Amino acid sequence: MRGFGIAASAVAATAFFSSAVSAQQVDPIVIKGSKFFYKTNGTQFFMKGVAYQQEIGPGGASSADTTDGSRAPNYQDPLANEAACRRDVPILQQLQTNTIRVYAIDPTKDHDPCMSLLANAGIYVVADLSQPDESIDRNSPQWDDTLYERYTAVVDSLAKYNNVLGFFAGNEVSNQANNTDASAFVKAAVRDMKSYIKQKQYRTIGVGYATNDDKEIREQLADYFNCGDPAEAIDFWGYNIYSWCGDSSYTESGFDQRTDEFASYSVPVFFAEYGCNTVQPRKFTEVQALYGRQMTPVWSGGIVYMYFQEANDYGLVTVSGNTVSKLPDFTALSRQIASVTPSGVQMSAYNPTNTAAASCPSVNAAWGAVASPLPPSANPQLCQCMMASLTCTVASGTDTDDYEDLFQQVCGYDDGKPCAGIAHNATTGTFGAYSMCNATEQLSWAFNVYVSGQDNQNQACDFDGKAATKSAASSSSQCSGLLSEAGAEGTGDVTSAPNGGGAASTSTGAAAATTVPDFNFGLLKLGAYLITAVIGGASLILL
């Protein structure tokens, strides 16, 4: 069926938004137990959502990915395009949309116009903290100061808007048993973002995770992110699920089993993506189940993938300039959504009884992340202090393509001692104090440890011209305290939290899109990691 065009006339848009509401004034959504509620009237909130971002594929993959596995830093911030928001918000309202998910925003841009337009329409935002070139890589997991600065910058840019419902600290990072160790780094990111939000005295904003539907690890993932210290656990759980295709059913799709599995989960759960397209046009008959009496006691609704028609053929509409053409999927979803009225409970009458996972998954063939400890908190200040204290560092202009060989060389000395302070192994729970620094900082640390044990230090600080000597800066009292906690070999526990400065500049920039493969030295495993370049209401959780 051919879509029909809707011209976004300036007159209509002006009339529609004449009574615009500030995004700071909209009633925030709060979390109590395993449910969302409107803060003011206590009505339970069910997401009727749509994924809203161009150039982003299912699971958050960038359509800018290339066939050789490289990735172009190409994404469009959907919350920074006022003209597009004015064009699309009325269309989203026709679907009774109350939530959108965005996968990558530019924290340096102005989001006031779009966030106010969304607020006026009663639409909340769930935002991923990463972007395609700055995220936790399942094959080379690392939670470092560069990612910390990206994530905190996004939090800083969106925290002021009451219609920000929450953040995703990761999306489908672990997708099979052999990369579940990566979940430890995502959980560390959850912990640090929750701590940062509290330290900055923002309103309480939930931080969660969006998972894929992998039968081998889905239960372990759900338990792992929900177990242990509440300060480290997720505030909500998003499920990317595409098991209902065509005229499926509650049982055939497995929705019944997933509902049983989450019946006792202690935080809100919802479909972070849904809408299988193997049968087209999509009928969205799963809407009746998702918002029906069997699922609403457990699930808080869901987010349809997706608004824009792209090469992956999941779109609800096509867009050309200011014209939006509805596709058959839009019509089908509109009919289904219009026919459901999810029934919930009032916040005042709701007494949560669900508890967090009784135990974390044990390390075995199907699970690779030890329950404790998590990777250390990303602390840009500690990395800056460390770099200032060194007398041998990576030479300026060193090609990051050489990093792999340099790591192998220096970590091979003295039974791996130079790299003990940067080790990060989530399976054994072995983490050096500087394991959360970026690659240039880590390599500089390893150089310096090796050189400090040599008699002729200036000559030893060479590495074929890839290292250079410098004078150590005098340490401030704060730096002295942090370095003392890290210890001379970098294997101490740093308990001092980051100073809450957010996206402060690190002492050395990391190169974009460079990876350092895994390598082992005896019992020391130095995990691979991505070297990236820094680019420059919220949910209130009721106990």
Nearest-angstrom CA–CA distance, 117 and 385: 43
Contact assessment for residue 53 and residue 78, using Cβ atoms and an 8 Å cutoff: yes
Diameter of the chain by CA atoms? 79
Q: Is the dihedral of CA 426, 427, 428, 429 positive or negative?
A: positive
Nearest-5° Cα angle at 481, 431 to 525? 15
3-state SS string for 99-158: EEEECCCCCCCCCHHHHHHHHHCCCEEEEECCECCECCCCCCCCCCHHHHHHHHHHHHHH
Contact assessment for residue 123 and residue 96, using Cβ atoms and an 8 Å cutoff: no
Burial (CB < 10 A; 0-12, 13-18, 19+), residue 530, is buried
How many of the other CB atoms lie within 10 Å of CB of 493?
A: 11
Residue in this structure with the two tokens 């996004």, named with its chain if needed: 154
Interstrand relation of 299-304 and 47-51 (parallel, antiparallel or unpaired): parallel
Closest CA to 467 of 444, 488, 498: 444
DSSP state of 400: G
C-alpha distance from residue 207 to each of 108, 186, 248, 269, 490 (Å):
21, 11, 32, 12, 30
Residue 149 is among the residues annotated as catalytic for this protein: no
Residue in this structure with the two tokens 């799709």, named with its chain if needed: 253
Residue 261 is among the residues annotated as catalytic for this protein: no
| Stretch (H or E) spanning 236 | none
Structure tokens at 180: 């579940």
Contact assessment for residue 236 and residue 265, using Cβ atoms and an 8 Å cutoff: no
Contact assessment for residue 171 and residue 103, using Cβ atoms and an 8 Å cutoff: yes
Strands, DSSP E only, in 275-360?
Answer: 299-304, 317-320, 323-326
3-state SS string for 417-444: HHHHHHCEECCCCEECCCCCCCHHHHHH
Active-site choice (55, 134, 149, 172)? 172
Contact assessment for residue 446 and residue 422, using Cβ atoms and an 8 Å cutoff: yes
- CB under 8 Å to 127, separation ≥6 — which residues? 79, 101, 102, 105, 154, 158, 164, 166, 167, 168
Strand partners, 524: 521
C-alpha distance from residue 368 to each of 109, 176, 429 (Å):
38, 10, 10
Active-site choice (55, 134, 273, 286)? 273
Contact assessment for residue 212 and residue 59, using Cβ atoms and an 8 Å cutoff: yes
- CB under 8 Å to 95, separation ≥6 — which residues? 48, 50, 316, 330, 333, 334, 337
Nearest-angstrom CA–CA distance, 227 and 215: 20
* Catalytic machinery residues: 172, 273
